[in-house]
Amino acid sequence: MLEFPMIPDSFLQRLNDYRSVIDNELLSLLDNHEPAYLYDPVRYVFSGKGKRLRPILVLLVAKSFGTPRKTAMPAALAVEILHNFSLVHDDIMDRDDVRHGLPTVHLKWDESAAILAGDALFALAHIELTKLGKYSLDCIRIFNEATIKLCEGQALDKAFEEINVVSLDEYLNMVSLKTGALISLCCQIGGIVGNTTSEKNAELSNFGRFIGQAFQIQDDLLEIFSTSKKMGKSLGSDVLTSKKTYLTCKAIKSNHRTWNQLLEDVSGQNMEQDVLPKLRKYFIDTGIAGSAKKDINNLVSQAKLCLENINSDGDDLLHFVNLIMSRKN
């Protein structure tokens, strides 16, 4: 989709090692926990085929300042648990049925079990933060600040469903809260356990915010231009349920009449065979898809400028950016 430099094999192997350790650490948190009504859904969440990008980012940031993986691991687990907590509750709100190619928690069990599992996940994340010793208090503070931003972003996302016209600036602000806040948290919390300065942590925060915005715009593109098999979820649903994305905001601003006519024309048609091909053609022909790629590149460039202001071993962070921005799912 976008062209980025090749990723070294050694870096990819390190990420696979991190992912394996993170998977094992998550499942080990629930050894012999009962009752099953609460912990089976939580185990189900932890056993999902997530890419673990957020905890890996925590470990990479901490490593760039010389902090061992073992020291930073509780912080990495906390942000991954927070991410999964938000997904469980978001899936209920958005009525999504598939996550990572599997039924969502509220579909496999019920809404009550999903809400309870989400609550437990949030508490488990805080328990991990208490394991960070002298860094615990600062990490808990920024963790909760980021959680509030996540909630604000989700609230705006839901409110935008009832608004016909949402400007691109309004959308990007929502994305900064809903997606950028968590990635920014990964960078900040990695910097804290890396014992860096407040000035450098501010740059890390900005780095994460820019990457978060780029990541979400890329996700909006993949929602239309990827495949259900690659993404592990149904595609196109955001567009047809009035959720605002980068692509739809641009389409409405460009020509709301032709956009509304397109939505009317595809209503009731088969998503894979009819709707997605027509959406893809529309976004390509109008230049909206190209504009999205351009904005992603601009955001990535701003993120990389932030790294230049941080005196650390930042090669891994550059490789990480190139990796996630070249993803296909």
pLDDT in tens, 203-214: 999 999 999 999
Its domain, for residue 71, covers 9-325
Mean pLDDT of the region 294-311? 90
* pLDDT the model gives residue 243: 81
Mean pLDDT of the region 70-76? 97
Tokens 């389409």 locate to: 251
pLDDT in tens, 20-59: 999 999 999 998 899 999 999 999 999 987 899 999 999 9
For 27-38, give one letter per residue: b (16+ CB within 10 A) or e.
eeebeeeeeeeb
Q: Considering the domain boundaries, does residue 4 fall inside one?
A: no
* pLDDT the model gives residue 185: 97
Q: What are phi and psi of 89, to 5 degrees?
A: -75, -40
CA 174 – CA 53 distance, rounded (Å)? 21
Q: Which amino acid is at 47?
A: S
- Supply the mean pLDDT for the chain: 90
pLDDT band at residue 2 using 50, 70 and 90 as cut-offs: very low
Q: Considering the domain boundaries, does residue 169 fall inside one?
A: yes
CA 172 – CA 195 distance, rounded (Å)? 31
Write out the DSSP string of 233-280: S-SSHHHHTT---HHHHHHHHHHHHHHHHHHHHHTTS-IIIIIHHHHH
pLDDT band at residue 171 using 50, 70 and 90 as cut-offs: very high
Quick one: how far is CA 45 from the chain centroid?
A: 16
Q: Is the peptide bond before 277 cis (omega within 30 degrees of 0)?
A: no
pLDDT at residue 220 is higher than 50: yes
Q: Which amino acid is at 70?
A: K
* pLDDT the model gives residue 199: 92
CA 66 – CA 85 distance, rounded (Å)? 30
CATH number at residue 269: 1.10.600.10
pLDDT band at residue 174 using 50, 70 and 90 as cut-offs: very high
pLDDT band at residue 1 using 50, 70 and 90 as cut-offs: very low
pLDDT at residue 3 is higher than 80: no
Mean pLDDT of the region 171-189? 94
* pLDDT the model gives residue 98: 84
Which residue, among 181, 243, 190, 173, has the nearest Cα to 211 in the 3D structure?
181
Q: Considering the domain boundaries, does residue 220 fall inside one?
A: yes
Q: Considering the domain boundaries, does residue 1 fall inside one?
A: no
Measure CA of the first residue to CA of the last residue in the chain; give whole Å. Answer: 11
pLDDT in tens, 94-150: 888 888 888 999 999 999 999 999 999 999 999 999 999 999 999 999 999 999 999
pLDDT band at residue 234 using 50, 70 and 90 as cut-offs: low
Q: Tokens for 111?
A: 């809404």
Q: How many structural domains comprise the chain?
A: 1
Mean pLDDT of the region 158-169? 90
